[in-house]
A and B are shown apart, each in its own frame.
Chain A
Amino acid sequence: MRQVLRLLAAFWRINVAEELQYRANFVASVLGTLFYMATALLTLALFFRHTSQLGGWDYWEIVVLLGVFNTLTGVIEAVLRPGIGSLVGEVRSGELDLVLVKPVDPQGFVSFRRLDIWRFTDIVLGLALAGYALHRTGRAPSWDQLVAFGLALAAAAVVVYAIWVLLMSLAFWFVSVENIAVLFDALFEGARYPVSAYPGALRFLFVYLIPIAWTTTVPASALTGRLRPALALVAALVAALMFLLARLAWRVALRRYAGASG
């Protein structure tokens, strides 16, 4: 484990030095995130010009959810996309072999080796937005709500990670599809709104099959008090299950890759 950390630290040091040389990257990153957040808020405002609730949620409640969405986007852009997201290219080019010979667990290494450090600001901005929106709903959260939120948010990050690993494992079979990550982006768009805003069939899909609901709706609900705090434990359970499923898929895929090449 320490070895993994040391290796990762070495990579991160180079990362940071690389990133710092691009003068405008930090400013650009923050401006970009603010721009997308503004766009999302304006879109929501447009909808709410013609209604007072969506799926039973009022405007500020959905903004809380938006904050959670941005936080998770930050995790994806800072850690997942640069790390495990580049797997497809490496499978195609055979560069993955260079990764596999390193004396560390490949999944751990591939997942966290490269960071887009500026995108960590997304996490901060997302949480700030969620906090502000919560204040505007006029509901002060109790301690167990906050704990439930923390737990649900961590679980959400794990669920997102697991979905990425599952999708990227597909890269081993569909080697010619270079943009598999786009599938995630398309699906994750559905997480911008509470699951109750969607008709029944989609709701079922997003809770039980492609568990997008557990990424934004559940943490946001925990924060705004819509969720019984104890249900956050269910979120943790779902996350654990997803993680195991993803790890299984990864190992199967890797076995196939190692067997096929050479």
Chain B
Amino acid sequence: MAETPLVAAERLSKTFQVKVRDPGIGGAVRALLRPRYRQVHAVRDVTFRIGPGEIVAFLGPNGAGKTTTLKMLAGLLYPTSGRVHVAGFDPWNGGPAFKRRIALVLGNRQQLVWDLPPEETYQLNRAIYDLTDADYRSRLEELVILLGLGEVRDKPVRQLSLGERMKCELVASLLHQPPLLFLDEPTLGLDVTAQEAIRRFLIEYRDRHGATVLLTSHYMQDVTALASRVLMINQGRLLYDGALDVLVARIARVKRIELVLGGADGVTKDALAAFGEVKSFHFPNAVLEVRREDAPATSARLLAALPIADLSIEDPPIEEVIRQAFAQGFEGADA
């Protein structure tokens, strides 16, 4: 694709000034009398390009700089240095024309009016975005069907479950069918069914409308299910930019087997060590680490050999994956 990218960030950086406070009463008094500040480099020298129709995930632990990057792309923050272009606009100065082309969904704060049914917020957005009646009705219907929201509409938002609320939030955000979606932790706090429903929806929506989706997450599953391309960010730096399967193959070489042992405490740590590296052992819970490709076979052997009440195969925590990535020196590689 030699066309101009839809989203382009060049050496993007953002630095905040934060007040320093030591814990405890002594520290609190000191902060009272003589406040100090330190610089937080939330985003350091990040460069990437995203084309139309891509689904891209910004992956990283909490505080990595993902949300800050997203806010700069959406025009809520302006960069300390570097440049950013989105859909032909400078987001910070984009104005209403830019805002009509984006949707911003923040996981922890919602635009739905809390005390009224979601329909009221939809109607409000219809007026705000100047949608024609025909457009409004057809898009609403499509979104409701795709998200499976048929019965929800009459209850006030505060009475909806977290999953229903997020789905309604998505409806409200997409009525104006923007070409760009910015989602900050969209599956945060949702149960597995809701998470899967939202992931399926995003893929379907992109397939139908060719929208470009940028999301931040610290869940591996979001990335594996959704994004063909992942940008790994840690401590403000872009560690990896490329295809997901490549990243997985390169880094997440291990899997963790989480066990709940049954029976009396006859199973010893040594017994488990025969199957793999024992990460933690507090009877009846245990966590083993094995090579990714060995995980299914090892699980089968464990189930056959030991009294096990529960077993699950998990990805290693994202912090570990990233730590490994950093240790192995991924820096701003393109796919």
Contact = CB atoms under 8 A, between A and B. Distances in A.
Interface in B199-249: none
B32 to A, nearest CB: 5
Interface residues of B, number: 8
Nearest to B24: A17
A20 B32 CA distance: 7
Contacts of A20: 25, 28-29, 31-32
B25 A17 contact: yes
Contact of A16 (B21, B25, B31, B35): B25
Contacts of B24: 17
Contacts of A17: 24-25, 28
A23 B25 contact: no
A21 interface: yes
Contacts, number: 18
Contacts of B21: 21
A23 B29 contact: no
Interface string A157-190: 0000000000000000000000000000000000
The DSSP consensus for interface residues of chain B is helix
Interface in B56-85: none
A173 to B, nearest CB: 20
Interface string B17-33: 00001001100110110
A17 B24 CA distance: 6
A13 to B, nearest CB: 8
Contacts of B35: 23
Contacts of B28: 17-18, 20-21
Dominant secondary structure at the A interface: helix
A17 B22 CA distance: 11
Interface in B28-45: 28-29, 31-32, 35
Contacts of B32: 20-21, 23
A18 B24 CA distance: 9
Nearest to B35: A23
A20 to B, nearest CB: 4
B194 to A, nearest CB: 22
Contacts of B31: 20-21, 23
A186 B161 CA distance: 38
Contacts of A18: 28
Nearest to B28: A20
B158 to A, nearest CB: 10
Contacts of A13: 25
Nearest to A13: B25
Interface in A1-52: 13, 16-18, 20-21, 23
A13 B26 CA distance: 12
A26 to B, nearest CB: 8
Contacts of A23: 31-32, 35
Nearest to B22: A21
Contacts of A21: 21, 28, 31-32
Contacts of B29: 20
A70 B21 CA distance: 34
Nearest to A20: B28
Contacts of A16: 25
A21 B31 CA distance: 6
Nearest to B34: A23
A214 to B, nearest CB: 39
Interface in A71-98: none
B36 to A, nearest CB: 12
Of listed A13, A16, A23, residue having the most chain B CB within 10 A: A23
A16 B21 CA distance: 15
Nearest to B21: A21
A20 B28 CA distance: 6
A175 B323 CA distance: 49
Interface string A242-256: 000000000000000
A261 B245 CA distance: 50
Contacts of B25: 13, 16-17, 20
A138 to B, nearest CB: 42
Nearest to A24: B32
The 5 lowest CB-CB distance pairs between A and B, nearest first, are: A20-B28, A21-B28, A17-B25, A23-B32, A17-B28
Interface of B: 21, 24-25, 28-29, 31-32, 35
18 contacts: A13-B25, A16-B25, A17-B24, A17-B25, A17-B28, A18-B28, A20-B25, A20-B28, A20-B29, A20-B31, A20-B32, A21-B21, A21-B28, A21-B31, A21-B32, A23-B31, A23-B32, A23-B35
Given A20-B29, A23-B31, 11 more contacts: A13-B25, A17-B25, A18-B28, A20-B25, A20-B31, A21-B21, A21-B28, A21-B31, A21-B32, A23-B32, A23-B35
